[in-house]
Structure 1
Amino acid sequence: MDWSSLIQIDKQLLLAVNGSESLFIDGLAVALTTAATWIPLYLALFFLVLRNNESMKQILLIVGCAALCVVLAGTVDDSIVKPAVARLRPTHDLQIGMSVDVVDGYRGGRYGFFSAHAANTFSIAVFFSLLVRNGILSFLLVLWSLINCWTRMYLGVHFPGDILCGLIWGGLVGLSVYYVYYKINVRISAGMKFISSQYTSTGYQLIDIDVVINVLFLTFVYTLIRACLVLL
């Protein structure tokens, strides 16, 4: 199978998952893909870090690593990869652009390879999963990232190939940044191992993790309510 065939398959897959006749799903996708929607989640993760790290050095290290995830995953993509590759978004594609279902006229920027939403969210999901080591939180963070990926295809602003490459790059970034964090943290922390039903193996209290999980749940509820308001 040659490259042009793969591109055609990518386009057909996009058209298969793009859009619907439902105003509710349209509103839900818009709410989920909006960056401001997830500010409570970012604040909850910051709260988790503050509550479970003893020194300012450790806190600043984690915050710096989280910021590095975003810079390497999303900023590099938007500033370097997208202009260099110059793959048109589905909404701007000369072949299928007129067939793509858009919501409220939203078409995104001109280029879409690869998805910064996919790279950013998955890098954060991977980094915090390795940092905290809690199965439920890890599952929900990965689910959060994948839901964000779905919205980008539903809204017609990214091909599945854009999403897949974004996830791969975001995963590599998350793993690499955690490796950097681990090497530095070994030097500045006591390196204690927590063996308790109240803590994860890396020292994060389950009660504080529950705060992040609840914020995630409430944010999803908010998006559902916001989507319902579209129907009024």
Structure 2
Amino acid sequence: MLEWLLRQDLRLFFHINNKWQQPWLDALMPWIREPYVWAPLYLFLALFVTINYRWRGFFWIVLFIVSFGIADQTSSFIKDAVGRLRPCRDPLLQHFVRVLVSYCPSSGSFTSNHAANHFALGTFCFITLKQAFQQYAWLFYVWAFAIAYAQVYVGVHNPVDVMGGAILGTMIGLLSSSFFQRRIRLEADLT
């Protein structure tokens, strides 16, 4: 079963990284996975919750950061424990991998920190802000998925790596948002 899964993972990787390539995606995907690109979104969310929810917004920011930190550290721990090679570092694959970033990280591949971090944040935002953003709250998952997909497209992760990161991040986001919703919850501060 594991061998079959790894074969399917490799097949999907080469579809995403090679067969499904487009010039406009080659330009977009390295850019979309960079943290500074999303800084305006983080700033907007911080201002939005602070202006609309005052002290509750401050605690929202704290839990947002904590969710990120827990996802990042947990994913790094798993990555070190598993020790899976990245496709761009695998001696059997690296000559066939299109690497669209300036370097291939030397850390392990499973689980993807980018996927874990952004699915944790996306889930936290979706659950805690869905009343405020209503039908647009699902865009938090589009954001997380785009970053995870970009990791495979640029050649630094396998699909299973980002799926593992997405599952890990979603679980962390569910836990942190559940805690936030039970203890604080975003409600208009009328004081």
Q: Find runs of 4+ consecutive structure 1 residues off by over 6 angstroms.
A: none
Structure 2: gaps of 5 or more residues:
none
Distance 2:61 2:161 in 1: 28
Structure 1 counterpart of 2:113: 116
Secondary structure (helix, strand or coil) at the match of 2:184 reads helix
Give the letter aligned to residue 88 of structure 1: L
Other-structure match for 1:171? 170
Tell me which residue corresponds to 1:227: none
The letter for the 2-side match of 1:149 is A
Aligned residues: 186
Following superposition, the deviation at residue 23 of structure 1 comes to: 4.1
Alpha-carbon distance between aligned partners in 1 of 2:178 and 2:172, rounded to the nearest angstrom: 10
* Matches of 2:174 and 2:22, distance apart in 1: 38
Contact 1:70 1:123 in 2 (8 A): yes
What SS does structure 2 have at the residue aligned with 1:16? helix
What is the TM-score normalised by the length of structure 1?
0.74
Supply the distance in 2 between the matched residues of 1:21 and 1:119 (Cα, whole angstroms). Answer: 24
Deviation at 1:181, TM superposition (A): 1.0
**Residue 167 of structure 1: CA displacement?**
0.9
Q: Which runs of structure 2 are paired with 1:7-156 in the superposition (5 Å)? A: 7-19=6-18, 22-54=22-54, 56=55, 58-78=56-76, 80-133=77-130, 134-156=133-155
The structure with the larger Rg is 1
Q: Tell me how large the CA RMSD over aligned residues is.
A: 2.0
The residue identity in structure 2 corresponding to 1:124 is L
2: CA distance between counterparts of 1:148 and 1:161?
14
Contact 2:99-2:154 within 8 A present in 1 as well: yes
Q: CA deviation at 1:171?
A: 0.8
Instruction: Give the equivalent residue in structure 2 for 1:198.
Output: none
Shift of 1:182: 2.1
Q: Percent same amino acid among aligned pairs?
A: 25
Q: TM-score, normalised by structure 2?
A: 0.89
- Contact kept, 8 Å, 1:129 with 1:137, in 2: the verdict is no
Check whether the contact 1:14–1:153 (CA below 8 A) recurs between aligned residues. yes
Equivalence for 1:157? 156
